[in-house]
Structure 1
Amino acid sequence: MTNLLPDVSISETVVNESPLEWVGMKGIDLPITVSETNCEAHYYRELHAHADVQVNLPAGHVKGIHMSRLYRLLDTLSDGDALSPYRLESLLKAMIETHQDCYTDSARLRLKFDLLTRRPALMTEGASGWKSYPVCLDVYLSDKSFQINAQVIVQYSSTCPCSAALSRQLIEQRFLSDFVNQPALAPDTVAAWLRDNASLATPHSQRSEASVQVDVPTNQQEFGLLSLIDQIEVALGTPLQTAVKRADEQAFAALNGQNLMFVEDAARRIQAALNGKFSSPKVHVRHLESLHPHDAVAWSNAPEQQTTADLTHPSSSILMKMSS
């Protein structure tokens, strides 16, 4: 005679009957495959993701959902086939269908991972390095709608325009003081002075980050993540680098010097670059100031606030050129 394992979700009654908006699991380790085509290059890579998966429980008399069913369904995303909006919709449909005894009619999924790609050096031929971009995909399905929201975080360098102007003034004042009553100066004399004094005052720069959210069209084959990242980096002009030799560092210094920006400038640049190309772009930028211990921030279209810390996990390990 076979002994049946007890199932208290069926045998025990609910003490406080009330519907629950979401029930499920959070922080599940999962290998996923991401495929993207961008700039005539193809990206195809297996990545380490963390998944949150839940369904609603509208029936107050039902004691609990079937966690193991959700887990096994989620595991189908690890089969090596590339993620797509269609695959995610099929997964959420199956989650709802396997919970009809719970009267479930809504499901949601969150995938957090680092999109790891190779970026070339600014100047040094053949030099490149790996760079990761935190990504969060939020997927929601009900009998009324299917939605996918993608968020990416891009880090960049920002040089303060105010600080640059104040630095230039100090250098100008020192120049006038050193050459007072000297009507004509040879170019070599000026060049020598600049070598010794051009860094008399330097503007402050800081590592900065842009968190950008867009709605993903549910009828396309890919999520457009690399295209989104590339357009953000082009709009900002000074994305963080990977492989750097002296020529690359000098080129990066030149980019920063010719690309002064406040947080307001950064947010507006990104918004303008994405309008009309991505659906419902929302921008949050943060400059981690080196002048003081608090950050400068700006929003465009009031996105949800998530930072690198929110999207970074143990799987974490510039320009338009990309190699897979």
Structure 2
Amino acid sequence: MKLADVQSLRDNRNLPIDKVGVKNLRYPITLLDRTKKRQHTIATVNMYVLLPSDFKGTHMSRFIEVLNENRECIDIRKIGKILKQMREKLNARKSYIEFDFPYFIEKEAPVTKIKSLMSYDCKVEAFGDSHTEELFLNVEVPITSLCPCSKEISSYGAHNQRGVARIRAQLAEFVWIEELVEVAESSASCEIYSLLKRPDEKFVTEKAYNNPMFVEDIARNITLELSKDKRIPHFSVEVENFESIHNHNAYAFINR
């Protein structure tokens, strides 16, 4: 018995829908890893297409079919292929995809060299049609900042705090997640580690004290570094400090 395909029926209301698809799908994926070649993680996936005005609905199962075909390695150099598959399977002019996922980098403590894993929240956003495609890589990097004003006016000590640097980079060519993480960490008073022993704690405390930064300094430092990279034609930088002596956060944003 042939089953009715209700989604393919015509709609007479003459209203296209900008995005229609599946959202908040938890899915295992494999990513390129600069050090270990491959990394397995769990992503939250959003997949959409433009629905023409005369289509009643879309075929949700076809989004998952495309994801199934590509989950063995989500390579940002092949996102265009995934977008094209979505448009072809769903007979759509535009397609969109988003992957939110934790990415893990093994780091050595600065003195003891003990290795541990740091987690970074990342996101890949892409959209395209038959003529153009745009791809964005987002990273959220924990950082340490030490207040220059506090250091200048205090007889001893200075207040510091944990913060976060968020980079959203449009990619014209391939860029490693690790590269953006390194730009953010090197632009702060000190980077953050998941495991430190006492000699390491002494080192990072003194490094931050000798390298005071406002959120404005960190945002500008990151911007200067990213501006040198021809693979990144457009980017935004957001820095937020979770202040240790105020009842508010300090914030800076640059869009280039």
Distance 1:98 1:43 in 2: 30
Higher relative contact order (CA 8 A, sep 6+): 1
Name stretches of at least 5 consecutive residues in structure 2 with no aligned partner: none
Q: Does 1:208 align with 2:196?
A: no
1:63 aligns with 2:56: yes
Aligned position for 2:81: 90
Q: Tell me how far 1:159 sits from its aligned partner.
A: 1.0
1:35 corresponds to 2:32:
yes
* Residues 1:18 and 2:11 aligned together: no
TM-score for both structures, normalised by structure 2: 0.92
Letter in 1 for 2:60: M
**Per-residue CA shift, 1:212-265, capped at 9, x if unaligned?**
1111225x4xx4211121122122241111211110110011011011111111
Supply the distance in 2 between the matched residues of 1:20 and 1:28 (Cα, whole angstroms): 21
Q: Whole-Å Cα distance in 2 between the matches of residues 289 and 267 of structure 1?
A: 16
Q: Which structure 1 segments of 5+ residues have no match?
A: 172-201, 303-324
RMSD (Å), alpha carbons: 1.8
Residue from 222, 225, 228 that aligns with 2:177: 225
Residue identity in the other structure for 1:240: I
CA displacement 1:185-210 (0-9 Å, x = unmatched): xxxxxxxxxxxxxxxxx321111000
User: Contact between 2:49 and 2:96, CA under 8 Å: does it hold in 1?
Assistant: yes
When residues 43 and 133 of structure 1 are mapped into structure 2, their CA distance, relative to the original with a 3 A threshold, is: farther
Counterpart amino acid of residue 208 in structure 1:
G
2:109 counterpart of 1:121:
yes
| TM-score, scaled to structure 1 | 0.74
Query: Larger strand proportion, structure 1 or 2?
Result: 2
Q: Which residue of 1 aligns with 2:246?
A: 292
User: Paired residue for 2:99, among 111, 116, 124?
Assistant: 111
2:2 is aligned, of 4, 9, 22, to 4
Higher radius of gyration, 1 or 2: 1
TM-superposed CA distance for 1:15, in Å, is 6.1
Instruction: Extract structure 1 runs of 4+ deviating beyond 6 A.
Output: none
Q: C-alpha offsets along residues 255-291 of structure 1, whole Å, 9 cap, x if unaligned?
A: 1101111111110111112212251232110011111
- Corresponding residue of 1:176: none
Partners of 1:133 and 1:214 in 2: how far apart?
15
